[in-house]
Structure 1
């Protein structure tokens, strides 16, 4: 929506695209005194959730795309997007889906029963209590106030990639994952929607599991942004409309993120470039913390994670948490020079 409005297409197209959105209110019923304080600043925190919803796919398509059977309405991808008050900087922080979390007391969505606060993996917050519980859990873990909520499923992801003509990625070794269906030889490739979905879902291409997948997701997001800018999509109203419709057809957003808000935000970000984005992941102290009744989780490094989220609260650039500076949006894998 930001690139849509920033291209100068105008209010009519934004309003039309907005009608494709499904609305969900993750803030309803959340007591203000139980949330991080709203400092009144112009910076924004957007919680971006990628779900494993198979809605809209036939049984044959689920088999073709290795999507499995019944979806659990779980969060496959969890990202916090921070836009600075001056709109000159975007920070994207991936939160591991297997993060050890304390879920607040909630109504258990599948049965309607009441659950007391309990430990679980972070991605379970969505299936247990929906967007509201996900927002509450993330806010408590990060001490950041979430301003907007966006939820994207498999179908909208695939359609958007196809609409912009595919996204280029590069790998210096073969990537194979029987679970997601990924089979990508070493080299540079332009991925269509189906292959791109396998690329960002793959967890079994190496021993890094979800952590390696988060890095691929960040690289892919950067490449997607660069592709949208460099392919001329933003300057072609017809193509731009198709991309927006494809992406928003299966997106859920909070009611406060409407056409006027999108226009205002996009106007402020008119000079923003993909290279102005920084990507990071929450620093970890334990990559395999086994918890009885939950299984293998990852534990955050509280000191380093605290420094990272403090920077976002104070609207500062991301700190160096692991000895390397946060990655810029490059539009491609770091190993491009090794591709053939």
Structure 2
């Protein structure tokens, strides 16, 4: 499939999945209402003060954690996860939905972003911590969801309306339930630490392989930024698989996939079935051009900071333009700023020996 056509279909799939899963023939309503009871609740807004004012539209903070909870020792070995978990944010996404429901933007925030964690009580020891420099992903392990929300709000100036957190377990099992997901890589991808070994071209990934694909950080010089592009690409591919594979027309399979995902999900108490359904209705008439993936513009991908190691430094002026646009519910600015959409990087970024996807 040509790259341009695949990108258009990927956007269409990503846009339609949320709406169709929940609105087609009433099936989605029943699935969500039943599955909602399997979602753990957490209050990410507890104790937060002096927050940014809510802008137009809706901002949802999506966190993928490195939790191994629910995985057997055999599964941890197979997925190359080890036994240790710092309860850190492995993936950080900010989803903005326009007030009119006709536009969605998913912004990836690098997990190694240089950040100042606000004053907090350290979750592990109960000790008081004054504001200090750290990587963004550490906010979750230091102070749980409230500190993660507060740190993201401080860095972006945006008001977070909802919080959703998912662990490895639900991701792996959901991919297996849809029968795997097809991806295409222009060149071989190998990362021994993540357990990734893919040839150039098209591959169908099961849950374990998909986890390695979205977690790998040592396949090229792009490190976390390259991984974010793969994560965005995989989201669209997963949606495409769900639609083209007939998942939405099979209530039993649909229910199983949703339950697999939600079994390892935590969300704020205000994000229940009613809100999910209202959100789905708003997304129902999405067009392919209405969805966009972006990344926070960065100035330095490997800024050395004593005590922290290599960090990602944002391009503050370009980042401000991006987040101001979201706060004002406008389309993202053109020009310097967000990274290219997945699969839309300059051709020179791929080696001459690569294959076309």
**Structure 1-normalised TM-score?**
0.93
Tell me by how many angstroms 1:275 deviates.
5.6
Report the 3-state secondary structure (helix = DSSP H, G, I; strand = E; otherwise coil) of the residue aligned with 2:302: strand
Instruction: Judge conservation of contact 1:135–1:146 (CA < 8 Å) in 2.
Output: yes
CA distance in 1 between counterparts of 2:289 and 2:262 reads 24
CA distance in 1 between counterparts of 2:337 and 2:148 reads 30
Tell me by how many angstroms 1:225 deviates.
1.6
Q: Within the alignment, does 1:37 sit opposite 2:53 as a pair?
A: yes
Cross-structure match for 1:296: 310
Instruction: Judge conservation of contact 1:304–1:321 (CA < 8 Å) in 2.
Output: no
Report the 3-state secondary structure (helix = DSSP H, G, I; strand = E; otherwise coil) of the residue aligned with 2:31: helix
CA distance in 2 between counterparts of 1:168 and 1:113 reads 46
Count the aligned residue pairs.
333
Matches within 5 A, 1:50-61: 50-61=64-75
Q: Within the alignment, does 1:215 sit opposite 2:220 as a pair?
A: no
Tell me by how many angstroms 1:61 deviates.
1.8
CA distance in 1 between counterparts of 2:131 and 2:116 reads 7
Matches within 5 A, 1:221-260: 221-260=235-274
Matches within 5 A, 1:319-334: 319-322=333-336, 326-327=340-341
Q: Which runs of 5+ in 2 are unaligned?
A: 1-17
Which has the larger displacement, 59-68 or 132-141? 59-68
- Judging changes above 3 Å, is the alpha-carbon distance between structure 1 residues 321 and 193 closer, same or farther for their aligned structure 2 residues? farther
- Judging changes above 3 Å, is the alpha-carbon distance between structure 1 residues 64 and 275 closer, same or farther for their aligned structure 2 residues? farther
Matches within 5 A, 1:144-223: 144-223=158-237
Cross-structure match for 1:65: 79
Equivalent residue for 2:44, pick from 14, 17, 26: 26
Q: Within the alignment, does 1:314 sit opposite 2:328 as a pair?
A: yes
CA distance in 2 between counterparts of 1:63 and 1:106 reads 35
CA distance in 1 between counterparts of 2:192 and 2:109 reads 25
Cross-structure match for 2:142: 128
Report the 3-state secondary structure (helix = DSSP H, G, I; strand = E; otherwise coil) of the residue aligned with 1:19: helix
Instruction: Judge conservation of contact 2:294–2:338 (CA < 8 Å) in 1.
Output: no
Q: Which runs of 5+ in 1 are unaligned?
A: none
Cross-structure match for 1:97: 111
Cross-structure match for 1:5: 22
- CA deviation map 1:273-317 (0-9, x unaligned): 566321111111111111111111111001100101111011111
- Judging changes above 3 Å, is the alpha-carbon distance between structure 1 residues 102 and 323 closer, same or farther for their aligned structure 2 residues? closer
Tell me by how many angstroms 1:265 deviates.
1.3
